[in-house]
Structure 1
């Protein structure tokens, strides 16, 4: 068995070589918790070895985040520094790559007024409006990966000590990203090839409507002829492939904005803005959420839905087999990067232009004509289980099973 040091080395290598696929002379921006400076240094060394011209690191601190939400005046929450967003736009135009190390603490903002959190989220969303298409359109290389902070690890393994919880979470990250095995880069190339085959199959079938049925879930949604199914690997404006999520198991597309009808129920908790939303359901009519409920996090869910007009419509449909590495751990990670890749999921809010044929070159008006949803928010939540069935309907009304009992039916 490989040592932890060997697996950390492989993991850092995987993030730089496969996730970002950093190119000679490229700038890399790393966003990370300040507690994980050691691993960030390892990534930085890998980046320079791969030919990076510059590595810029932006650290975050949980205590400072909570203090701002507790004590800042509303005016401070409503105003995000535009210069910071403008800097990212400038760097994106110069082909900088972005690596986000995600370690969200699901109880970080527990007890904070949901309206204050919503103010801050909306302010940052508006500030980054020009930057957002670089990400959702796959125009630059970007990656979300994970590092196990003490606060996150303890929510996943509450019965272990902090050190034991962090060590155990590292092992789960190594397992789900395949770096616990020899030659993980080659393993990921094979995995991407298999997911691409599933996406190609769905595109070849020409489905124009999907029907979902599972515990608490019964809804239908239309697909536009210009939308397409894609999977793990994107190609940026320079023609370079990258993998924006590690780990990833999803094949996904976008819905027609006004076509969603029926009810969906969550199957895993959603960690959103430092709070958990759990056991919730949404009822859609002509695309919009008309009714909703939640056993936990109701106010947080309400503020999410009220972010703007588009946040109460869907922007993504993602298929993930129940029989997959993350799902098979049988662990609730309280981290959407992992939980969404253990379960079929859908997303409230902004659609992804990368899922539209020639979407990068289409205007906002052209995208809206094909049912593209626009929002400051994009929040994935899990609806999959071993009981979920999905059928695809073609233009002529003929039906074909896509998922049966939570897994691919083909």
Structure 2
């Protein structure tokens, strides 16, 4: 393991608790992964313990929902929708109760990126729909400021083996931890929180410049990609630093290097070639290529898991339209990221999306639109980020 591992782990936990979640005195914290794992993987215990120590210095309670990983895969293989529905309903009840008590949330994700490899796409799509039918209403409350929430990556041996397969096995986990620590500016010096607050201030200033400019289009051009997006008149560029209804700032995902908004879901034209594997429903779709016309995907292909891509696009009326366009702050005049994510494929949505300009299929964040007429803003049960090797031009 890294020689400064413990110091960097303390920094990471401090950033999660004091910047990401921004836990308030006496507030309760619940830790889970409600997306693909229905709880935190046991391999994340070292990070959970560090977060627990940091949280209890501020809050007064700490709860963890652990993932039943083996049972989840068995349910998916056998297409046991009833059993999965009961499990998700139970977990959602815990989250709902926690939210009603004013608690904050930490979602530790990505520890098992290939948990569902080989499971039929129709089974995965059914599980995903069940999960979001239960969890979606909680997400909507959180997005609208009901309480603080933060998504952060939790390294594991299986994730490290996938991402750093070219390294000797005994070096892979350390390499992954180093990549995550670098991405969240946890260098072990004890001042990561201060540097994060300065970084967030720079991102907000960049977003304010974009909002003042009132652009009407974004064009993304690169290998296999030439996509033009229309922006609604009342679009609003945002950062991952958001505020609750009680004015508590928190960061909805760590790391973050992006400025993003909601494009007009009816005005996307062109083609995209997705530059990195897209992790979805416990597996990965690789080599995605899409063609858009009048805002909607009209052609779709993928090198792997093309059937899962088709299921994803058919989830609902908004799944084949775009809900987000995000630009790297480094391309917009802000300081460049201090981590080498652009040179590695991490097989994690947060790490890979923050290494590139990207768009997202599905749900738009409502705070990215300030008008009363919401028709241009996409709605969907899904939100899937697509990293692109493309430069952006604002018009």
Cα drift, residue 66 of structure 1: 1.5
Mean Cα deviation higher: 145-154 or 157-166: 157-166
- 1:390 counterpart = 2:392: yes
Structure 1: runs of 5 or more not aligned: 359-365, 394-410
Instruction: Please list, as runs of the form range in 1=range in 2, the aligned pairs for 1:162-173 lying within 5 A after superposition.
Output: 162-173=169-180
Q: Distance in 1 between matches of 2:317 and 2:138?
A: 20
CA RMSD of aligned residues (A): 2.1
**What is the TM-score normalised by the length of structure 2?**
0.90
- 1:287 counterpart = 2:289: no
SS in 1 for 2:381: coil
- 1:339 counterpart = 2:352: yes
Structure 1 pair 328/54, CA: closer, same or farther in 2 (3 Å)?
closer
SS in 1 for 2:66: strand
* Corresponding position of 2:35: none
Question: Which deviations, in whole Å up to 9, do the C-alpha atoms of 1:249-292 show, x marking residues without a partner?
Answer: 01000011111111111011111122221111111111111111
- 1:380 counterpart = 2:390: no
Q: Distance in 2 between matches of 1:114 and 1:103?
A: 19
Instruction: Please list, as runs of the form range in 1=range in 2, the aligned pairs for 1:311-390 lying within 5 A after superposition.
Output: 311-320=319-328, 321=330, 324-327=337-340, 330-357=343-370, 366=372, 368-369=374-375, 371-383=376-388, 385=389, 388-390=390-392
Question: Which deviations, in whole Å up to 9, do the C-alpha atoms of 1:364-406 show, x marking residues without a partner?
Answer: xx5533x1111111111101x3xx332222xxxxxxxxxxxxx
Q: Distance in 1 between matches of 2:72 and 2:247?
A: 37
Higher relative contact order (CA 8 A, sep 6+): 2
SS in 2 for 1:197: helix
The answer to whether the 8 A contact 1:148-1:169 is kept is yes
SS in 2 for 1:310: coil
1:252 to 257, 260, 267: 260
Cα drift, residue 44 of structure 1: 1.3
Mean Cα deviation higher: 250-259 or 157-166: 157-166
SS in 1 for 2:196: helix
Structure 1 pair 218/79, CA: closer, same or farther in 2 (3 Å)?
farther
Instruction: Please list, as runs of the form range in 1=range in 2, the aligned pairs for 1:46-57 lying within 5 A after superposition.
Output: 46-50=54-58, 52-57=59-64
The answer to whether the 8 A contact 1:210-1:222 is kept is yes
- 1:239 counterpart = 2:247: yes
Cα drift, residue 300 of structure 1: 1.2
Structure 1 pair 139/318, CA: closer, same or farther in 2 (3 Å)?
farther
* Corresponding position of 1:196: 204
The answer to whether the 8 A contact 1:282-1:289 is kept is yes
The answer to whether the 8 A contact 1:231-1:250 is kept is yes
* Corresponding position of 2:108: 101
* Corresponding position of 1:403: none
Instruction: Please list, as runs of the form range in 1=range in 2, the aligned pairs for 1:209-220 lying within 5 A after superposition.
Output: 209-220=217-228
The answer to whether the 8 A contact 2:111-2:154 is kept is no
SS in 1 for 2:118: coil
**What is the TM-score normalised by the length of structure 1?**
0.87
SS in 2 for 1:131: helix
The answer to whether the 8 A contact 2:362-2:382 is kept is yes
Structure 1 pair 68/334, CA: closer, same or farther in 2 (3 Å)?
same
* Corresponding position of 2:37: none
- 1:110 counterpart = 2:122: no
Structure 2: runs of 5 or more not aligned: 33-39
Cα drift, residue 27 of structure 1: 1.5
Mean Cα deviation higher: 204-213 or 131-140: 131-140
The answer to whether the 8 A contact 2:108-2:154 is kept is yes
